Amino acid sequence: MSNETEKKRTGMYENVMHEFNKAADKMNLDPGVRKILASTQNEIVVHFPVKMDDGSIEVFTGYRVQHNNALGPYKGGLRYHPTVDIDAAKALATWMTWKSAIAGLPYGGGKGGIQIDPSKYSKGELERITRRFTYALGDNIGPDYDIPAPDVNTNAQIMAWISDTYASAKSPANRSVNLHVVTGKPVVSGGLAGRDRATGFGVVTAIKKWAKKNNVDLNGKTYIVQGFGNVGYWAAHFLHKEGAKLIAVQDHTGSIANANGIDPEELSAYAKTNKGGVGGFEKAQKIENAEFWKTPCDILIPAALGNQITVDNANEIKATLIAEGANGPTDAAAEEIILKKGIHIIPDILCNSGGVIGSYFEWLQNKRAEIWKIEEVLEKLNDKIETAFDNVVSCAERYKTDYRTAAYIVALEKLEQVYKERGVFP
């Protein structure tokens, strides 16, 4: 890799601040509000010991960053991954502030996790790690203060452990009162029907809105997906229903392709027997990871980790649309290349906001002691995404700018208005 390429690479937090400053300049954001929003409010780092199955003790490091709560409680996921650190948490928490504002939710942004590879630990060890992390966070989370949710390598089971640990630490241990301390729980433990598919459903809702605006018929269109976890699978599931054809997939086990189409349901069933990976799927050919990005297609859905589309592969992409299912999959330098090529981008803070919208519905359901039907959930989710999409398109036309910058402006205008109306204490 050349030194020039190295210089062009940017971290997730640098990408966030680059886009923030670009939008703030474009809209002439109030200088005082700009200073407030350019920094996080709280950055929490905890180190906690856990006994392993063999009786040994390991000390883990966990993070929770709270960016801003002007619109409501902090809200955002917890991820278990070796790349978790304070800068990643800052970037993701900041994105959550913008995402919630764009979606019209009464939330601020939070994010965090533990710096581990969960595949190296038993289920019992993961439970103890999760419960001890929850206890270490203490009152830094709470049902009306900071509400975590699932993210990379975390799931409904982990949310159930957090919910139970948090409630058990309160006196008296009233689980109904504290049920909404996390979202993304199993349905029988207070979770929302349809929460598992909310992000992927939202990605496809945004794609459908883009298609309608651009007079594109999705039936017969081809798409490729990076990452075939929760978001990637459900996005493929719902696009398949629209008649689109999945022709390539990449994940941590490799890349596969089939020009005649890959059935998302068959691939999902196979992945469940293959430790969650798509590598080795018999109804597709193995391709090199670099070739995945060169696959000619109509739609590319990055649904894995951040900074996957860089200056190294941006020129290779042969798609009409990039729909960002992951957080921060495209770095700033790569985006310049992609936009110059005429490729459209539905930015992450709009495209994958279905997850936080679904979390909001679960939070409301718990607060009201209600049970919502999945049809009702998906209908409400569709309406929220469509409204947010229309607002971003309108802003893009008003400022004559790209969708990502417009999405930031929609969020910043809302937060600017709140600060101007309320003032700054004291």
Residue 208: HSE in the Cβ half-sphere, 13 Å Cα cutoff:
19
Q: Number of helices (H) and strands (E) in the chain: give both, helices first.
A: 15, 12
By the 8 A CB rule, do 382 and 205 touch? yes
Asked if 196 and 235 count as a contact pair (C-beta separation under 8 A), the reply is: no
Minimal CA–CA distance to 254: which of 215, 228, 221, 216? 228
The gap between the terminal CA atoms of the chain, to the nearest Å, is: 51
| Of the candidates 72, 63, 70, the residue with the CA atom closest to the CA atom of residue 91 | 63
Q: What are the phi and psi torsion angles at 134 (to 5°)?
A: -60, -45
**How, if at all, do strands 146-150 and 299-302 pair?**
unpaired
Ligand-binding annotation for 380, yes or no, is no
**359 in a known ligand binding site:** yes
Q: Which of 111, 185, 208, 384 is catalytic?
A: 111
Q: Do 181 and 162 meet the contact criterion of CB atoms below 8 Å apart? A: yes
Round to whole Å and give the CA distance between 79 and 273.
Answer: 23
Distance of CA 69 to the CA centre of its chain: 19
DSSP-derived letter for residue 191 is P
Residue 321, CB-side half-sphere exposure with 13 Å CA sphere = 26
Q: Is 111 a catalytic residue?
A: yes
Q: What is the largest CA-CA distance in the chain?
A: 65
Q: Tokens 């109904």 identify what position?
A: 176
28 is in an annotated binding site: no
> Are the beta carbons of 95 and 17 closer than 8 angstroms?
no
Radius of gyration of the chain (CA): 21
Report the distance separating Cα 367 and Cα 344, nearest Å: 39
* Residue 230 marked ligand-binding: yes
Residue positions in the annotated binding site for substrate? Answer: 75, 99, 359
Residue positions in the annotated binding site for NAD(+)? Answer: 199, 230
Q: Give the active site residues.
A: 111
